[in-house]
Amino acid sequence: MRRKTFARLAITACGVVALALSGSAAADEQTPQPVLAASVIKVNDGDSIEVRLDSGKARVRMSAIDTPEHDQPYGDRSKAALKAMLPEGSAVELEVVTQDSYRRLVAVVWKVVEGQRINVNETMLREGHAWAYRRYMGDARFCDFEAEARDGKRGLWTQPVSDWIYPPEWRFLKNGEIRTLPTPYAETREQCVAVMGRAGAATYTPPN
């Protein structure tokens, strides 16, 4: 298997960009971040893409949102929504927050169209293609965006409540960390805010 070469986080773009890698994404979301120009090579799923920078290829994980996995309800549709928004060759700007354990850039992705900038992370959330990623966000507005999409029955929120499966819970099940998915309930903004920033934050009532 050929090994792909990806850009490291220390990137030269109009000078050397120095990023502090300590701490969580949530701690840095509300402060100005380095902005890198890039073009989209590939959409991997609903919240991750591959891009080309001046310095080479890089993998990008979109910050503050989490989309259904490919094998869970709505996973394929979430990926399709992002592909429609970011076709190959799309010009984007990355506000880099940090680098994750998989050496992906964690970033706010902005689509650039005729000088206009569209926040792709927020758009995916507002249109109901993603959950607010409770553990890795520091801004309650993401709970607002999710609630608006849920109340408006957009995207994944058109599904039966039984299919409202918070992606980390799905991954816990697949990894054998839990035996069954907890029983889902009608999610609310208040519950989203209550667990914001907590490690392993769940949105479901634990099973008896």
Question: DSSP string spanning 111-164?
Answer: EEETTEEEEHHHHHHHTTSSEE-GGG---THHHHHHHHHHHTT-GGGGS-GGG-
Q: pTM for this structure?
A: 0.83
Bridge partners (DSSP) listed for residue 52:
39, 57
- Specify the pairing of strand 105-113 against strand 56-62: parallel
Q: Alpha-carbon distance 116 to 102, whole Å?
A: 31
Q: CB-based contacts of 165: which residues, under 8 Å, 6+ apart?
A: 68, 72, 73, 181, 184
Does the residue 178 lie in any domain?
Answer: yes
Hey, which residues are catalytic here? 61, 69, 104
Does the residue 202 lie in any domain?
Answer: no
Does the residue 200 lie in any domain?
Answer: no
Structure tokens at 20: 């502090």
CB 16 within 8 A of CB 38: no
pLDDT, block means (10 residues), the chain with 208 residues: 42 38 43 83 98 97 97 97 98 96 96 92 98 94 97 96 93 91 84 87 62
Does the residue 201 lie in any domain?
Answer: no
SS3 call for 205: strand
Q: How many domains does the chain have?
A: 1
Does the residue 101 lie in any domain?
Answer: yes
Does the residue 53 lie in any domain?
Answer: yes
DSSP 6: B
Does the residue 74 lie in any domain?
Answer: yes
CB 184 within 8 A of CB 161: yes
Q: Alpha-carbon distance 208 to 203, whole Å?
A: 15
Give the H or E element holding residue 99: strand 91-99
Does the residue 206 lie in any domain?
Answer: no
Q: Alpha-carbon distance 72 to 120, whole Å?
A: 22
Domain harbouring 125, CATH code: 2.40.50.90
